[in-house]
Amino acid sequence: MFVIYDFTRLDQRRNLSTPSGVDRVDLYYILFLLKNYNKIIFVRGYGGYLKTYSTQSALDILKKIAKNWAEIDNISYDIDKNDFVNVKIDVEKILKNNIQYTYFNLTHSLLIGRYTIAKFAIKDNIKMIYFCHDMTPITHPEYHAEGMISFKQHSCAMKLMLWSADLILTTSQAVEQDILNYSIEIGVNPPKVVAKEIGAEENFLKARWNKHDSHKHFIYVGTFEPRKNHILLFLAWKKLYSILQENTPMLYIIGKKGWLIDWLDRYFEVEPNVSRFVKRLENIQDSQLEKLMLESYATLNSSYAEGWGMPVAESVSMGVPTICSDIPAYHESSQECAIFLSPLNVDIWVDTILDILNNRAVFPDKMYKIPTWKNYFIEIDKILNGNCFLRDKTQYIQFFYDNLEDFHFAAHKIQLNQKNKKTFKDEIRLKLLKSKLYFIRILARFI
């Protein structure tokens, strides 16, 4: 199988010291493909198109981020078996031969305006495989930066995914159902959608929490953004301080800064007692995170909505007491081995935290089946080598070209009520993008 791998996100995030859950999935997929498939063409986004990427350059980047993110330093790949090494192949040329390809895109947020993808989709020799991590910009746009712009962008990306996909992979049945519901909403006969539980990091599988050890704090792992519902924990800690005073435990919030969090500094200014016992940590290594988890009373996961919940899976894998919002994804990622609370009820979180501090909390007595990446990719390999799932997408791709203007505006973050303000330049660009001549569409990028 010839693989066309969209390397855009990994290339953009090469200098980050710590990865998000999406980054980890992207990394482990390419490591799996490098190990098991002979021909890999790396591509990355360039405007609305895809361009091939030097294999050696891609491997150099992978070695760097794999060592930084997952402490992996033994990546190997026989470049000699790859005919495309260091050769800049125009992706358009791939469309002119009859070799069987499989295109992988693990980061659906980068799909807007990918005209090359639309061309791939109608070719009988190219299977299109995507990974959908969640649908929250569509199901919960109020928690995302730029609200309706984010909704419009993600809607365009999901439409192109559903129009062009032969297979969509995801992490939970909750997201699978969201995908199927959205496909019905936009009138598309959905492609094959498969939900598989992803693996936990190896170092988290080896460590075990011990209730007899000394525990010092609580932790919450996740990007600092409104959807994660950090405000509930801040309010909970305000109440805890009123009860426990100087005996209030520390809360560590671990994750990178997201969006719409300008209120944080102001909140700490008016609530100095909360700021003393709530600290945010960023850019910590897995080994540091593991230590903090082992020393914690419990992990807290108060999110309003999730596609999966990797921190929850890792917490339960280590045997750390885990408290979660009562949302579908957390029930799946924890395998029901957690305490579930309403993400809207501060008092019940305070009561549960006090129960933990006083050894009164009762957690489910269930056996957790630890997910591993090895087992995950055994299942994925079976799917990739199973029956052909290619489907006829011609009618749907026509929708893409019919709605090219919507994709153009979404890609440039132009709100719906601004469409009537198109400039003459916008009009020219859209006409050029619709051209059947490749060099004309190239010209449109520079206007």
Instruction: Give 101-169 as a DSSP string.
Output: EEEEE--GGG-TT-HHHHHHHT-TTEEEEEE----HHHH-GGGSTTHHHHHHHHHHHHHHHHHH-SEEE
In a domain, 425, yes or no: no
Helices (H), 339-384: 346-357, 373-384
Q: Mark which of 344, 369, 394 sits at the end of a domain.
A: 369
pLDDT score of 443:
67
- Quick one: CA torsion of 211, 216, 218, 222, rounded to 10 degrees? -110
Residue 298 tokens, joined: 């419990």
Q: What are phi and psi of 107, to 5 degrees?
A: -135, 85
**Apex 368 CA angle, 281 and 308, nearest 5:** 50
In a domain, 410, yes or no: yes
Cβ-proximal residues to 245 (8 Å cutoff; 6+ apart), any chain: none
Angstrom distance (rounded) from CA 107 to CA 142: 21
Asked if residue 304 belongs to a domain, the reply is yes
The neighbouring-strand residues paired with 51 are 44
Cα 304–chain centre separation:
16
Q: Is residue 431 part of a domain?
A: no
Q: State whether 209 and 303 are in the same domain.
A: yes
Rounded to whole angstroms, the Cα distance separating 41 from 4 reads 5
The pLDDT value given to residue 414: 44
- Position 29 in a domain: yes
- Clarify whether residues 17 and 119 are in a common domain: yes
Domain match, 122 and 234 both = no
- Does residue 338 sit in the same domain as residue 388? no
Burial 245-271 (b: 16+ CB within 10 A, else e): eeebbebbbbbbebeebeebeebbeeb
Which strands sit side by side in the sheet containing 39-46, from one edge to the other?
49-53, 39-46, 2-6, 101-105, 126-131, 167-170, 192-195
Same domain, 48 and 87: yes
Q: Tell me the CA distances in angstroms from 304 to 278, 301, 353, 429, one per residue in order.
A: 20, 9, 19, 40
Question: What is the pLDDT tens value at each position of the chain, 447 positions in all?
Answer: 788 898 888 888 888 777 778 888 998 999 899 888 878 888 887 666 677 777 888 888 888 887 777 666 566 665 555 544 444 456 667 777 778 889 999 986 556 556 677 778 778 888 899 999 999 888 888 877 665 667 777 888 888 889 889 999 999 999 999 999 999 999 988 999 999 999 887 777 777 898 888 888 999 998 888 889 999 999 999 999 999 999 999 999 998 877 777 777 677 777 888 889 999 898 887 788 889 999 999 999 999 999 999 999 999 999 999 999 999 999 999 999 999 999 999 999 999 999 999 998 889 888 889 888 999 999 999 998 876 677 778 777 777 777 766 665 555 554 444 444 456 666 676 666 666 555 666 666 556
Distance of CA 46 to the CA centre of its chain: 21
Domain endpoint, select from 337, 369, 401: 369
Helix (H) / strand (E) element for 306: namely none
Asked if residue 243 and residue 206 are part of one domain, the reply reads yes
CB distance 248 to 280 below 8 Å: no
pLDDT of residue 415: 44
Cα separation of 230 and 216, whole Å? 20
Predicted confidence at residue 444, as pLDDT, reads 64
- Residue 137 has what pLDDT? 85
Residue 100's pLDDT is 84
Distance of alpha carbon 231 from alpha carbon 212, whole angstroms: 31
> Same domain for 165 and 270?
no
187 and 206 inside one domain: no
Domain count, the chain: 2
Indicate which CATH number applies to the domain containing 209: 3.40.50.2000
Judge whether 400 and 433 are in contact, CB under 8 Å. Answer: no
Interatomic CA distance for residues 65 and 9, integer angstroms: 12
Q: What are phi and psi for residue 434, nearest 5 degrees?
A: -85, -5
Residue 356 backbone phi and psi in degrees, to 5: -65, -45
Residue 435 has a pLDDT of 64
Q: Cα separation of 278 and 268, whole Å?
A: 9
Residue 70 structural domain: 2-199+377-414
Assigned domain for 435 exists: no
Position 436 in a domain: no
Q: Are residues 56 and 93 in the same domain?
A: yes
Q: How far apart are CA 182 and CA 159, in angstroms?
A: 9
